[in-house]
Each structure stands twice: as C-alpha cells, then as structure tokens.
Chain A
Amino acid sequence: DTGVSQDPRHKITKRGQNVTFRCDPISEHNRLYWYRQTLGQGPEFLTYFQNEAQLEKSRLLSDRFSAERPKGSFSTLEIQRTEQGDSAMYLCASSLSSGHNEQFFGPGTRLTVL
C-alpha cells in the first residue's frame, strides 16, 4: 500500500494526558498537511509542511499542539494536556509541490478524550 498511513487509528485518553500521532505520507510527496474533523463539519486545516519546514499554522493550533517533520518524511502531531474539546478525527494529507493541489488523505486517527 503506497497511500498515506496514520498511526494509531484510534486513541482513547484521559483529560490532561499527552498524545502523539504519526503520519507517513506518500513517498514522493514533499507537502504534508494536518487537518481536524469534528462531527458534522468538514476537515479544518491545522498546519502544513513543505519538506521539513513548517510553513503555516492555523489559529486553531493552540500552544498545546505541536507538529514536526524532522527529516521531511513522516510527521508527528502532539497534543499536550488534552481536553475533551480535542476529541476529533485527526487527518493527515500529502501532495506534490508542483502542479495542482490534489491532497491525498490518510484514514485518520480518531481521538477520544474522556
């Protein structure tokens, strides 16, 4: 399977705990995006990397959230001191930097904060 992969697929945690998610993009894609989707909404942009550089962060990304892409390949999204409002589907997508902006999504990580 050469698509975007995410791990874990599901995460249940208690309020106040830290969680980390991983995304492996399509191998030749140098752009990587994180989105969050809550019930009844479309995906909302969180942050975006081109290679290892984090180029844009949404105001949705509070200081409890941090994302990295250290070698320009996989990325991690960490949420510190989780809150119940963080419960959502976290989606990762990747694309090429040339041509048009078709982004290919992974299956997502479903986070439930109790």
Chain B
Amino acid sequence: DQQVKQNSPSLSVQEGRISILNCDYTNSMFDYFLWYKKYPAEGPTFLISISSIKDKNEDGRFTVFLNKSAKHLSLHIVPSQPGDSAVYFCAASVNRGSTLGRLYFGRGTQLTVWP
C-alpha cells in the first residue's frame, strides 16, 4: 500500500517560472518529510525537509509547504533552472518508536525545465 503518493509522473516548466511538485500521504503518524532529487545513474540527493510542527521551510530557491489537515505537501522551485531537471521524490518518516528511521517514498515526478 503506497503511503506516500506523487500523482503527477511528470511536469514541464519554462526556465524562470515556478515549479510546483505535489505529494500526498495517508499515514497520520508521519512527522518528518523530505524531498530528494535524483539524476540518472546517481543516488537520490537530499534537497529540503520539514518537520510536522512547521508548515513552511525555505532554502534558497526551494520552499516546502506542509498542510497536515489535508495530508499534503508541495515543493516550490522559484525560479526554475534547466539544471533542476531531474526526478523529485517525496519521502516521509515516523521519527519515534520502533520504526524510527525508515523512509517511505513516493514514485517520483520527472521535472523538465526548458529554456
């Protein structure tokens, strides 16, 4: 059962515009959320994270928003650059108890930023 869902397999955005990647989750026990970026033939690279006690976290061009009531988070990239083209994975974890540590991933969204 997919506890983290990324319903858009792909997104195409023009350079300079905003990219918005979405993620939904079903497990209300998740309390920490992460975004990873993955290029072909490489492992995922950590991008940004957010704790469930916050609703927004910003790091340069990247901002993650969390809506706990809707069990929804999104990653905003502004402005988008061609080098941002990659697969973006949303991940979640429960940072307490016996399952401490394991990440649950969505299936990813392929972002293409065109000039």
List chain A positions with a Cβ less than 8 A from chain B.
4, 6, 31, 33, 35, 40-45, 48, 50, 55-56, 58, 91, 93, 95, 100-108
Contact-residue bracket for chain B? 20 to 34
Which chain A positions have C-beta within 8 A of B41?
107
Within 8 A of A (CB), among B81-115: 89, 91, 93, 95, 98-108
Q: How far is the CA of A48 from the CA of B101 in the complex (A)?
A: 8
CB B71 to nearest CB in A, in angstroms, measures: 17
Q: Which residue of B lies closest to A110 (CB)?
A: B41
Contact partners of A106 in chain B: CB under 8 A = 43
Closest chain A residue to B94 by CB distance?
Answer: A101
Which chain A residues border B46 with CB–CB below 8 Å?
A: 102-105
Q: Tell me how many residue pairs across A and B have CB atoms closer than 8 Å.
A: 69
- CB of B7 closer than 8 Å to a CB of A: no
Q: Judge whether A56 and B43 touch: CB under 8 Å.
A: no
| Minimal Cβ-Cβ distance residue in A for B36 | A105
Are B105 and A43 in contact (CB-based, < 8 A)?
A: yes
Q: Which residues of B pack against A, CB within 8 Å?
A: 4, 6, 32, 34, 36, 41-46, 49, 51, 89, 91, 93, 95, 98-108
Most chain B CB neighbours (cut-off 10 Å) among A40, A45, A55, A101: A101
Contacts of A104 in B (CB 8 A): 46
Contact of A100 with B95 in the complex, beta carbons under 8 Å:
yes
27 pairs from A and B in contact (CB 8 Å cutoff)? A4-B43, A31-B101, A33-B101, A33-B102, A35-B103, A42-B106, A42-B108, A43-B44, A43-B103, A44-B105, A45-B103, A45-B104, A48-B102, A56-B99, A91-B44, A101-B32, A101-B34, A101-B95, A101-B103, A103-B46, A103-B103, A105-B36, A105-B43, A105-B45, A106-B43, A107-B43, A108-B43
